[in-house]
Amino acid sequence: MRRQQDVPGAPGDVIRLDNVTKAYQAGTAPALASVTMSVANGEVAAIMGPSGSGKSTLLNLIAGLDRPTSGTVTVAGQRIDSLGEGALARFRARHVGIIFQFFNLLDDLTVEDNVLLPAQLAGASRRGARARAGELLARLGIDKHRDHYPARLSGGQRQRVAIARALVNSPELLLADEPTGALDTATGQEIGRLLSELNAAGQTLVLVTHDPALAARYAARTVRLVDGQVADPRTAGVGA
């Protein structure tokens, strides 16, 4: 295991990207071009920018769902850009929770079994995982739906289930890609408040959003991407 001193960035950083470039196809403009940025432990950072500016690409690289073409990605003290598939899957299960615009729940599993899935994949004991799932469902106000199927739930309730699932393994980092994009304004605000409460309790959070109100209200810092680059390096969280 690498020690903190062996990896780039300050000790308090949960995320550190150095000169990260991602090109999906050779010969076309890269989706991300030489991005350097960091997010500190306990911080909530919003990522904004026009459609196609590279927001989801950035989140996927931080989540270890994809690898950069060049540059280094360090998350939770570990260099993840050079990990193989198996190591990357283990890294994701342990250190990162991610929620999406359309919830991505499995319709043929109950709410509780959806939440338990990442714990199962991480090899956690069923007993411990059920206790943790119960605690999260209660905290998110959806414990009475534990044995229901996602199809019966409202959008806001489904996103709460997705948040519980993302947090079941107590990851250092919660990533959210347009978490309110499929919700009405009032429900979106509820989810925003919920994410903000989680952050107040210490959860580091990166929030991709098109919604300036959500970013302004809940994120201490907004990083704006334009054409795959950080528009203002002063917002990147690293000494420029």
Ligand X SMILES: Nc1ncnc2c1ncn2[C@@H]1O[C@H](COP(=O)(O)OP(=O)(O)OP(=O)(O)O)[C@@H](O)[C@H]1O
The contact set with ligand X (CB under 6 A) reads: 24, 31, 49, 51-57
CB of 64 to ligand X, least distance (A): 15
CB of 56 to Mg ion, least distance (A): 3
The residue (of 54 and 71) whose beta carbon lies closer to ligand X is: 54
d(CA 135, CA 121): 19
Point out which residues pair with 207 in neighbouring strands. 46, 176
**Which among ligand X, Mg ion, none contacts residue 164 (Cβ within 5 to 8 A by kind)?**
none
CB of 168 to ligand X, least distance (A): 26
The residue (of 7 and 35) whose beta carbon lies closer to Mg ion is: 35
Contact residues toward Mg ion (CB under 5 A) are 55-56
Residue among 217, 216, 233, 214 nearest 225 (CA): 233
The residue (of 79 and 224) whose beta carbon lies closer to ligand X is: 224
d(CA 234, CA 37): 10
Contact 211, 14 (CB under 8 A): no
CB burial string 8-17: b at 16+ within 10 A, e below: ebeeebbbbb
Torsion of CA 114, 118, 120, 126, to 10 degrees: -70
The residue (of 21 and 41) whose beta carbon lies closer to Mg ion is: 21
Residue number closest to Mg ion, CB atom? 56
d(CA 173, CA 129): 19
CB of 229 to ligand X, least distance (A): 12
The residue (of 56 and 169) whose beta carbon lies closer to Mg ion is: 56
CB of 217 to Mg ion, least distance (A): 21
CB of 181 to ligand X, least distance (A): 9
Residue among 156, 210, 150 nearest 183 (CA): 156
**Which among Mg ion, ligand X, none contacts residue 24 (Cβ within 5 to 8 A by kind)?**
ligand X
**Which among ligand X, Mg ion, none contacts residue 51 (Cβ within 5 to 8 A by kind)?**
ligand X
d(CA 75, CA 81): 10
The residue (of 57 and 78) whose beta carbon lies closer to ligand X is: 57
**Which among ligand X, Mg ion, none contacts residue 204 (Cβ within 5 to 8 A by kind)?**
none
**Which among ligand X, Mg ion, none contacts residue 72 (Cβ within 5 to 8 A by kind)?**
none
d(CA 101, CA 182): 6
Residue among 132, 205, 151 nearest 143 (CA): 132
**Which among ligand X, Mg ion, none contacts residue 196 (Cβ within 5 to 8 A by kind)?**
none
